Structure 1
Amino acid sequence: MKVVIAVDSFKGSLSSLELGQLIENGIKKIYENAEVKKVPVADGGEGTVDALVEGTKGQFVDVKVHDPFMRLIDAKYGIMGNNVAVIEMAEASGLPLLKPEERDLRKATTYGTGELIKDAIEKGCREFIIGIGGSATNDAGLGMMQALGYKFLDKDGELLGYGGEIMGKVAEIDSSGTMDGLNKCRFSVACDVDNPFYGPKGAAHVYSRQKGADDETVEYLDLSLQKLALTLKEKTGKDISDIPGAGAAGGLGGGFVAFLDGELKPGIDIILQEVGLAESIEGADFVITGEGRIDFQSVMGKAPMGVSKMSRDKGIPVIAIAGCVADDAGAMHDHGLDAFFSTINYPVSLEEAMNKERAGTFVEKNVEEIFRLIKVCEIKYKSR
């Protein structure tokens, strides 16, 4: 029997790598000689760096960068075993780095995200996977590009500062000081929303209020994004105004396209391609997937959805495990997931359920029981 394990982390409890080992333990209690292949997966959000670096025997890199208000902080990113850099922009430019009373989108910058990219380029990376969820910014990536050597000037030729407040003032773009190697880099951007750059469904109107913006600031930022889009079209020849996903992370999605020819794709599609899941599941009898909670939202680009779709296309049965299975999780059955199971055996508090040791025991024991059932069915079928 061949089983492929491709499970996202149980956030705050068990990593993708830890879950893979626990599931393998459960399988081998019943099928001692089973071929078990563990493939780390994530959906491009929190945990992506850890899953890909640990699963490919890569390395973590610690670096000093600037937070959204240009304060020096410690951050990390990953370099996979194949020298692909994996970066979560929230490490340097994320909302959790700020206190609620500090949030100010006119001042907040993505400069630190650019510093993470710069460090990886200096270490020889030319391929990048960038997760852009959880931003505290709305500067369309201008700060990121400043860290990479770009200069932005106003109509009087004066050098502009940082933050969302400079977007509408950009009149000239000076790329003469960009760092060596940048033009040879390729960026795959994990983007799971389709918002345009500006407008009623754009970056400012949809996302800026949760980052501290009031109505006046929302309108100011939206107008600034419109002005910047016109400037970028004039100076770069790229019209990013209506590109799906350009409005993600305060316009950072659009910034990646305009300045770095970034490719915006669903996070799970990028990850599954990078880890080679399609090749790994060839000849598999079962695929095991899952995440901390399975519900109707799992259909919307989460790891189990991507794994299920790929496995279904190859006719391989898919079983999912989760710490919690919601009442509406049945929607997953229409998208390639054959069965799902909660790992919780009896009533416990959320704190107890997320305890690493307790959660690990639940996972291993329930996987063992699942494969006991599979073996019973196998024996019954063979006896006919």
Structure 2
Amino acid sequence: MKFLFASDSFKGTLSSDQTIELLNKAVREVFGECETDGVPVADGGEGTTEAVVKARHGEIVNVDVHGPLMETEHAFYGKLSDKEAILEMAAASGLPMVPEDKRNPLNTTTYGTGELLKAALDEGYTDIAIAIGGSATNDGGMGFARALGIRFIDEDGKELEGKGSDLVKVRHIDVTGLDPAVKNAHFTVMCDVTNPLCGPDGATYTFGKQKGGTPEILDELESGMKNYRDVIIKEFGINPDEIQGTGAAGGLGAALKVFLKAEMKSGIDTVLDLIDFDGRLKGVDLVVTGEGRTDWQSCFGKVMQGIGDRSKNHQVPVAALCGSLGPDYEKIYEHGISSIMTTVDGPMPLKDALDNAEDLYYKGAVRMFRFIKAGMTLSAG
């Protein structure tokens, strides 16, 4: 019997790699020696670069960039082959980089993410995947584009810095200085949101509050974003509000689509393609996946949904081991997940569950494999 282990991380407690180690230990306790394979996975958010690099036996490349407040940050991207690279904006422009008392999307920029991409382009990579979850920004991607050579000009002919408060000041966008390497590269953007750039479902009103935006700040940013949109329409003949995903990452999606002609793709699907998950399913009898909490959101671009759908297409059953279950968790059964078990083995405070996550996960894995072994016995009978 061959098992494939592919679980998401349990945020704040267990990494994807740790779940693989614990599952390997547990399956051998129950089944003895058996064939296993394990691959770290992520859904396009924080940790995606490291998971894909490990799965592909790639290399982490460290780069110094400017953070969301233009402070110096140590970021990184992943080298996957001579042509392929992967990066995540959370490493350069992520929300955790901004102290809570300084969170104000009028002041943050995606400039560092642009620097990170430029570093990869300078090394000659031409097939680049970009994960854009977890941003601290709402600048429409201006900072990102500026790092690649695009200039945003105000009414006095001066170049803007490219932060949220500059959106309302844009009068002209000069793309003549765009890094020429962009034309020879293909960009895949890991994006699971379909929000437009502006409007009640746009970048500002949907995501701005969690980045420190008060109602007054959000109104100011929305006015600026509409101005930015109108300049793009006037100068490029493209309306970002008519393109799904342009509101992602505070409008970075718009810059990626308009200036880089990037392809928007589901985060988990991109990751599974990059690690050749379908190829790994050959000869597998059972896949084990999981995540920290499973609920209705798990069906929308998350690891379990992606793993389940791919496995279902290859007629391979999937069992899940999760930290907890939330509202409508059972909807995940529609995506190829055959069974779910939780790691907790009794009522307990959340802190106790987090503090003992490794032990609980291991014991839960043993219980799960015992059930699987019992099922095999029934089937044989």
TM-score, normalised relative to structure 1: 0.91
User: Match for residue 305 of structure 2?
Assistant: 305
- Which residue of 1 is the match for residue 376 of structure 2? 378
| Match of residue 161 from structure 2 | 161
**Structure 1 counterpart of 2:357:** 359
Distance in 2 of aligned mates of 1:47 and 1:125? 21
Amino acid at match of 2:31: Y
Does structure 1 retain, via aligned residues, the 8 Å contact 2:105–2:137?
A: yes
Q: Distance in 1 between matches of 2:265 and 2:274?
A: 13
Between 1:362-371 and 1:64-73, the stretch displaced more is 362-371
Q: Paired residue for 2:239?
A: 239
The ranges of structure 1 where at least 4 consecutive aligned residues each deviate by more than 4 angstroms after the TM superposition are 346-349
1:115-126 alignment runs, 5 A limit: 115-126=115-126
Summarize the alignment of residues 1-384 of structure 1 with structure 2, pairs less than 5 Å apart: 1-80=1-80, 84-326=84-326, 328-355=328-355, 358-383=356-381
User: Measured at CA, do residues 293 and 214 of structure 1 come closer, stay the same or move farther in structure 2, by a change above 3 Å?
Assistant: closer
CA shift, 1:340, in A, is: 0.5
Cα distance in 1 for partners of 2:380, 2:70 equals 67
The amino acid of 1:262's aligned partner reads A
- Structure 1 residues 354, 76: CA separation in 2 closer, same or farther (over 3 Å shift)? farther
Q: What is the letter of the counterpart of residue 97 of structure 1?
A: M
C-alpha separation in 2, matches of 1:214 and 1:343: 39
The letter for the 2-side match of 1:119 is A
Shift, 1:97, TM fit: 1.7
**TM-score, normalising length from structure 2?**
0.92
Amino acid at match of 2:36: V
Aligned partner letter, 2:278? A
Code of the aligned partner of 1:316 = V
Once the two structures are overlaid, the 10-residue window that deviates more, 1-10 or 237-246, is 237-246
Q: Which amino acid aligns with 2:8?
A: D
What is the alpha-carbon distance in structure 2 between the residues aligned to residue 69 and residue 243 of structure 1?
29
SS at match of 1:7: coil
CA contact (8 A) 1:27 1:368 kept: yes
AA in 1 matched with 2:291: E
Deviation, 1:156, is: 3.9
Deviation string 1:357-382 (CA, Å, 9 cap, x unpaired) is x4333333332332333333323433
Q: 1:138 to 1:4 in 2, by over 3 A?
A: same
Secondary structure of 1:60's counterpart equals strand
Amino acid at match of 1:287: V
Number of residue equivalences: 381
Q: Cα distance, 1:81 vs. partner?
A: 5.2
Does the 8 Å contact 1:15/1:51 carry over to 2? no
Deviation sequence 1:208-264 (CA, Å, 0-9, x none): 233233333323322222222222233233321221211111111111101111122
Contact 1:196–1:244 under 8 Å retained in 2: yes
Q: Residue 323 of structure 1 aligns to which amino acid in structure 2?
A: G
Find the residue that maps to 2:192 and give its secondary structure.
coil
Change (3 A) 1:211 1:380: closer
User: How far 1:196 sits from its partner (Å)?
Assistant: 0.8
Cα deviation, residue 117, structure 1: 0.9
What's the CA shift for 1:341? 0.7
Secondary structure class of the residue paired with 2:27: helix
Q: 1:319 Cα shift?
A: 0.3
Task: Say whether the 8 Å CA contact 2:82–2:125 is kept in structure 1.
Answer: no
Identity %: 39
CA distance in 2, matches of 1:327, 1:259: 40
Distance 1:216 1:380, change over 3 A: closer
CA distance in 2, matches of 1:325, 1:340: 9
Amino acid across the alignment from 1:260: L
* More displaced 10-residue stretch of structure 1: 294-303 or 232-241: 232-241
Q: Can you give the 5+ residue segments of structure 2 that lack an aligned partner in the other structure?
A: none
Q: Encode CA deviations 1:99-157: one digit per residue, 9 max, x unaligned.
A: 23323323321101111111122233222222222222111111011111111223443
Give the unaligned 5+ runs of structure 1.
none
